[in-house]
Amino acid sequence: MLDSIIEVKNVSKIYANGVVGLKDINLNVKRGEFLVIVGLSGAGKSTLLRALNRLNEISDGEIIVNGESITKSKGKKLREIRREIAMIFQSFNLVKRSSVKRNILSGRVGYYNSLFSTLGLWSKEDKERSVNVLQRVNLADKYYDRADALSGGQQQRVAIARALMQEPKIMLADEPTASLDPATSVVVMDDLLKLNQEEGITIVANLHSEELALKYATRIIGLAAAELVFDKPVEKVTKKDFDQVYGRLEKEKTSKSNKTKKELVS
């Protein structure tokens, strides 16, 4: 139990309009894993990922991060847990009109009193750290540029640098390559892999692409229609697993194998 950094226990999510987002999900993420979640859009990948740092509320169940329940925390406690969990997004979510410097420093807000951060009273170490993290993604020459002057791939790497400012133990990546071309996608994924292997940051990523998932993950889980359909180390994942996630078999077969898989998983 000690080596699992995220525990998802019987988590369900039902949206206000009655749509089921997640159905009784159980999942343990181990320290140092590179976990990839695959599934069709609308299968609940994003909902699950965003529940892990409580960007989305869940309706039922509990999520424990690093030994503490994020679903039961509030206020300052919640912000402190979030500090340990960095996140990068499909659309980068940089403040486009602010400088790269300001964007990166804003990743550090969890460590500051809001008065100090608002007035821009960053410590010397944090300023140095902000240069340092940018160097790690090879973009230090863009330090003073405005974020919207960068290309998509560069913006995503700045977002990674911002995430690194948190000194996170976990990095969530919500479709990090979906708005990038294949070549840039590899650069961004390589950056994530480096963090995973060299610094032992646990990575949980949503990916659309089978190919990328197989190349980078140590473990893959599949979601279909809000349910967990498989959960395997990457070596054991077969084409059949992907087929059922992406609904490429006949419907009957899928639902049947869904059941068997679910039994296996639980």
Partner 1 sequence: MIPPKKSFISRLKNIFLIVLLIVIYIWAFAGINFHGLQPMAKQIASAVLEGFTHPEWEFVSSPLNRFLNSMFDAKIPEQYLTSDGEDLLAQIMQTLAIAFLGTILSSILAIPFAFLAARSDKDKSNFSLKLKILGYSAIFFVFAILISFFTNGGKFQQWPKFWLWLFIIEAILILFDSLINRLMKKSVFDTKSYFGKFVLTIIRVFPEIILALMFVKAVGPGSFAGVLALAVHSIGMLGKLYSEAIENLEKGPNEALTAAGGDDIEILTFATFPEVLPSFLNAALYRFEIAVRSASILGMVGAGGIGQNLIFAISTRNWSRLGIIMIGIVLMVTAIDFISGQLRKRIV
Partner 2 sequence: MNTLPSRTFAQKYHLKFVFWLILIVFLLLISSNITESDLLAFFQGDSIQQFGVILGKMMKPDWSFFPRIWEPLLETIRMALVGTLVGSVIAVPVAMLSASNVTKPAVVRSITRFISNLIRTLPDLLLAAVFVAIFGFGPFAGILTLIIFSFGQMAKLLYEAIETIDKGPIDALETAGANKVQVIAFAIFPQVLNTFLSNFLYTFEVNIRSSTVIGYVGAGGIGMLLQTVIKMFRYDQAGVIILAILVIVVLIEFLSNYVRSKLT
Which residues form the interface with partner 1 (CB under 8 A)?
15-16, 53, 55, 79-83, 85-87, 89, 91-98, 102, 106-110, 112, 114, 117-118, 159, 162-163, 165-166, 172
Give the count of residues interacting with partner 2 (CB under 8 A).
9
CB of 140 to partner 2, least distance (A): 5
Among 14, 55, 78, 131, binds partner 2 (CB under 8 A): 131
Question: Do 223 and 37 touch, CB atoms closer than 8 A?
Answer: yes
* Contact between 140 and partner 2 per CB under 8 A: yes
CA angle 253, 257, 260 (to 5 degrees): 150
Q: Which is nearer to partner 2, 41 or 138 (CB)?
A: 138
Q: Which structure tokens are listed for 5?
A: 């950094």
Say whether 164 sits in a helix, a strand or coil: helix
Q: Which is nearer to partner 2, 137 or 220 (CB)?
A: 137
Say whether 224 sits in a helix, a strand or coil: strand
Q: Which is nearer to partner 1, 11 or 229 (CB)?
A: 11
Residue 74 CB burial class (10 angstroms; 0-12, 13-18, ≥19)? exposed
**Helices assigned H by DSSP within 8-123:** 45-52, 75-84, 100-105, 114-118
* Contact between 187 and partner 2 per CB under 8 A: no
* Contact between 123 and partner 2 per CB under 8 A: no
Q: Which of 206, 179, 188 is nearest to 46 (CA)?
A: 206
Q: What CA–CA distance (Å, rounded) separates 41 from 64?
A: 26
Q: Partners of 20 in the beta sheet?
A: 14
Stretch binding partner 2 (CB under 8 A), from 27-35, 40-48, 51-59, 140-148: 140-148
CB of 255 to partner 1, least distance (A): 30
Q: Which is nearer to partner 2, 140 or 214 (CB)?
A: 140
Among 87, 133, 139, 220, binds partner 2 (CB under 8 A): 139
Q: Which is nearer to partner 1, 172 or 195 (CB)?
A: 172
* Contact between 141 and partner 2 per CB under 8 A: yes
Stretch binding partner 2 (CB under 8 A), from 35-43, 72-80, 132-140, 192-200: 132-140
**What 8-state DSSP symbol labels residue 53?**
T
In the sheet that holds 85-88, the strands lie side by side as 85-88, 170-174, 202-206, 34-39, 219-224, 227-233
Q: Which of 156, 167, 85 is nearest to 126 (CA)?
A: 167
Which residues of this protein are in contact with partner 2, per CB under 8 A?
A: 131, 135, 138-144
